[in-house]
Amino acid sequence: TALEEGEASIEVSKPEGAEDTFNIKITSGSKEETFENLTFKKGRGARNVIDTINKESKLVKVAEKESTLSIAEKMPAPGTYPLAAAAPAALVPQEIRPDALIGDVTARSGVSGLQLCDDVTMVICPDIMALYQAGKIDREGVKIIQTAMIDHCRNMKDRVAILDPLPGMSPQEVKDWRMNEAGYDSSYAALYYPWVKVANPIPGGDPSVYVPPSGHMAGIWARTDSTRGVHKAPANEIVQGAIGIEKAITRSEQDILNPVGINCIRTFPGRGIRVWGARTLASDASWRYINVRRLFNFVEKSIENGTQWVVFEPNDRDLWSKIRRDITAFLKRVWMDGALFGATPDEAFYVKCDTELNPVEIRDAGQVITEIGICPVKPAEFVIFRISQWAGPGGK
């Protein structure tokens, strides 16, 4: 309903000489609506009371209850009756099942349903921890769902999963979980530790709660993409909205966790709560850093989208030249943005599309192959200063 505050009423009257029709006037504050010659009959030409009011009224909606009464018995008695706005429907909690989080491509559900979304660049699922805390899944169940997230990102090749640790873990426990129990090894995933304390948005409860860090980390990734670019490591950034962390991380603990790909969230006096890690869960050193993985994702996706015009073009030297021209122009812009290492474009990247890559058998198969190499800028994780004593210009 759209009834105004205050009194609302419905007035029923019968036209003279009418047996099975009636009039209704609805009043709500300063608003009035009148519906004449209504009936319970249905069919061509009949102004059925349910259909007419639901179609024309801006104040109320009506529903007909099942009844065995005849039309004559249903006729309302003339008079004025008070109206009240309908009570809101009660919220019914829906149980989240582990398989629902993994989902299905056909059903367009869960993580699997994200295959249909081309613009996704990161995948998070903090509800895994809600299921774990509610006792709906065990540690093995957490691993199964997170593995499904990683596999999805690896198969799509254009997104990265942001994973949460189990709640309440110590630094040694989260290391054991990552290395021995979960054993993840992928450049398409990153793990952050520990949980973050935030103000409780639900009134009446504790003033603050601990939440999985993945939501905050996704926000930091997006903010860094917007302000600096996808090539900038999303680290040394303030965790906005955080008022604390579940476990304080020391420098020695950081030195233990960082090499195994666990990105720490730390508190620094006078500098707030910051992300202090930018590693993936890959054992391959080439894909150690989040920004390197995401830069390649960005470049691959951009080139794929920017070369759609190539399809069905004559596969000859002229086409290869145009492909080299377009990709070189794009990569030069990426280099000028500071995403690629090198004093010149030739040092930063190369693009090859020629007869060697596209011999007759490749062309006969309807394919055109282009080889691209880029040199990404990697983050300075460790800033090292070498300090020694100096006796001065005249010293020995």
Same domain, 137 and 273: yes
Q: Is the peptide bond before 207 cis (omega within 30 degrees of 0)?
A: no
Does residue 89 form part of some domain? Answer: no
pLDDT digits (tens, 9 = 90+) for 219-249: 999 999 999 999 999 999 999 999 999 999 9
Same domain, 164 and 236: yes
Identity of the amino acid at 310? V
DSSP codes joined into one string, 33-71: EEEEEEBS--STT--BHHHHHHHH-SS----PPP----H
Of 291, 318, 346, the one marking the end of a domain is: 291
Same domain, 66 and 158: no
Question: How many structural domains does the chain have?
Answer: 3
Among 189, 243, 242, smallest CA distance to 220 is for: 242
Same domain, 116 and 204: yes
Least confident of 75-89, 184-198, 259-273, 297-311: 75-89
Mapping DSSP onto H, E and C, the string for 261-314 reads CEEEEEEECCCEEEEECCECECCCHHHCEHHHHHHHHHHHHHHHHHCHHHCCCC
The beta strands (E) that lie in 110-163 are given as: 122-124, 160-163
Does residue 13 form part of some domain? Answer: yes
Angle at CA of residue 375, ends 372 and 378, nearest 5°: 145
Does residue 66 form part of some domain? Answer: yes
Same domain, 339 and 392: yes
Interhelix angle 317-336/290-306, rounded to 10 degrees, is 140
- Checking if the pLDDT of 322 tops 60, the result is yes
The domain of 327 spans: 307-396
Residues 6+ apart with CB under 8 A from 210: 167, 195, 196, 197, 198, 246
CATH number, position 114: 3.40.50
Tally of CA atoms within 13 A in the half-sphere of 197 that contains its CB? 13
- Checking if the pLDDT of 6 tops 80, the result is no
- Both tokens of 376, joined, read 């990404």
Same domain, 38 and 174: no
pLDDT digits (tens, 9 = 90+) for 167-209: 999 999 999 999 999 999 999 999 999 999 999 988 888 899 9
